[in-house]
Chain A
Amino acid sequence: MPLPTAITDFEAIAQVLGKNELAPVAYGERHRALGAHLGIDTSQIDFAIAAIPLCQRGSVHSETRRRLAKLIADTAPAADRYLSENVPKLLRATLTPGRHDVIGEFISPCVNGLLGVNIGIDLTIAHDSMVSRIFSQSIGVAKRKRLNDDIGNLRHAISAARPDLSENAVADRVALVILGNDALRGTLGKSLHAIFSGEAKAESAGAPPRTGVPYIDREVLVAQTFSGQLHPAGTILRATLSVLNDADNTEARLRFFGFGPHTCLGRRLSLGLWRQIEKTLAEVAPKVKVVSYSMRKDDVFDIPETFEIEVTP
C-alpha cells in the first residue's frame, strides 16, 4: 500500500470525507492476500468485512450502510434509555473518593452495555480485544490469528444468544461492534483524560474534546485536487481528524464524525453518551488527579491501555 498523504487543513478534511470520488481503503483484500499467502485462516475476518460499510465500495457500501443504520435506528430508544439510566450511575461510582481504574470501572461497562443494547445480547468484550483492529495495516501474523479468533468468538456468542437471527443479521451485529468498540473506548478515554488532567474543559458543549479515531484513509479513484495540490489515482489521502482535538467550537469537533456518504453511523449514540457524561461531571464536579495513563500501541485508534485516577472529597 502506498504511504498516505496527510490532509490536515479543516476544509480539505471536509472535502476528503465528503467526496464520492474517494473510496474506502481495500482492507479486506489485504487480509485475504496475506491469509492465502501464509496459509492462515481469515474466514471470520472475511465474514465481518463483508458487513462493514467502511470496507466496501459502490452499491455494496450503500447496502451494508443501510442495514447498519436500520439496526442502530431500531435500537435507538433502548440505547437512549440505557444511556440515561446507566452512564450517570457508572460515572458517579467511578468518581467517589479513592483510586479508580477508569477503563475497568467506567469505559468497559459503558461501551459493552451500549453496544450490547444495539446488538440485543449481553456483551462482554475485553478492553484488549482485537476485534476493532481489523483496520490495522501493521499487525503481525500472530495478532491476525487472534483477530480472526476474537471475531469468531463474537460471532458465535451472538449466534448462540440469538438463534433467531439470519447470518446477515449476525454479520451486521459483528460489524457494529467492530466499528463501535475501539472508537468509543478511545474517544471516551482520551476525552476523559483531557478533562481530568486539565487539558480540556469539562463543559465541552455537547461534543467530546478528543477523538479516538485520529484519521480516516480514502483512496483516490480519479485524480483530485485538494488545497491546490493534485493527487493522482491510487493515492491514499489521510484525513487527519486528530487536528480537530482542542478545537474551541463544538461545530469543528463534530467533524470527528465525518461527512456525507461516510458520516459515522454511531454519531448520535456517541453524542448521547457524551451528553450524559458532561451532565454528570457538571453535577458531581469531582476533584480528580490522573495517577497513571498510557496509550496502547495501535496504528488505527488512539486508545488508552491504562488509565487510573485518584478522587479526593
Chain B
Amino acid sequence: MTDTQKLVIDALMTAAERDTPAAVLEDLQNGKDIPLAALELESLSRFEVIMQIEEALDIELDDDEITARDTVGGLIALIDARRQGT
C-alpha cells in the first residue's frame, strides 16, 4: 500500500465510521477499490476527509473534486496527481 493509499483510506475510515455500512468499511480497510457512493458519506463527513488530507499533505482539495470521482482508487489517483503538482 502506498503512502497516498494509506492516507486516503485512513481519512475515509475515520469519517466513514458514522455513515457507512460495516461490510463496506471492511472492504475499504482491505484496500478494495469500492465506489465512493457506497460509503454513503454525509457532506460534513466529506469535509472531514478533505481537511485530513489537506493538512497531511499541505495541498488544497475541493469538495466537487471528491464528488467527481467514482471510486476510492480515483480519489487516490487525484491526490497522487496533486502531490506531484499536476
A-side interface residues toward B, CB under 8 Å? 1, 33-34, 37-38, 40, 137-143, 297, 299
Contact = CB atoms under 8 A, between A and B. Distances in A.
B78 to A, nearest CB: 12
Contacts of A142: 54, 59-61
Contact of A299 (B43, B48, B50, B64): B64
A143 B62 contact: yes
B interface, by DSSP: helix, strand, loop or mixed? helix
Interface in B13-62: 43-44, 47-48, 50-51, 54, 59-62
Contact of A141 (B43, B51, B64, B65): B51
Given A140-B50, A141-B51, A141-B54, A37 B63 contact: no
Report, nearest first, the 6 A-B pairs whose CB atoms are least far apart: A138-B64, A141-B51, A138-B63, A142-B60, A140-B50, A142-B54
B63 A140 contact: yes
A38 B63 CA distance: 14
21 contacts: A1-B43, A34-B44, A37-B44, A38-B47, A40-B51, A137-B63, A138-B63, A138-B64, A139-B62, A140-B47, A140-B50, A140-B51, A140-B61, A140-B62, A140-B63, A140-B65, A141-B50, A141-B54, A142-B60, A142-B61, A143-B60
A140 B44 contact: no
A297 to B, nearest CB: 8
Nearest to A30: B43
Contacts of A137: 63
Contacts of B51: 38, 40, 140-141
Contacts of B44: 33-34, 37
Nearest to B61: A140
A146 to B, nearest CB: 8
A89 to B, nearest CB: 37
Contact of A139 (B43, B59, B63): B63
Given A33-B44, A138-B62, 6 more contacts: A37-B48, A38-B51, A138-B64, A139-B62, A142-B59, A297-B62
A25 to B, nearest CB: 14
A142 to B, nearest CB: 4
Contacts of A138: 62-64
Given A140-B54, A141-B54, A142-B54, A38 B62 contact: no
A17 to B, nearest CB: 25
Nearest to A137: B63
Nearest to A37: B44
A138 B64 CA distance: 6
A38 B48 contact: yes
A295 to B, nearest CB: 15
Residue of A33, A138, A141 with most chain B CB atoms under a 10 A cut-off: A141
A297 B64 CA distance: 11
A139 B42 CA distance: 16
Contacts of B47: 34, 37-38, 140-141
A142 B51 CA distance: 7
A34 B60 CA distance: 16
A237 B61 CA distance: 27
Nearest to B48: A38
Nearest to A34: B47
A250 B47 CA distance: 43
A40 B62 CA distance: 16
B53 to A, nearest CB: 9
Interface string B52-86: 00100001111111000000000000000000000
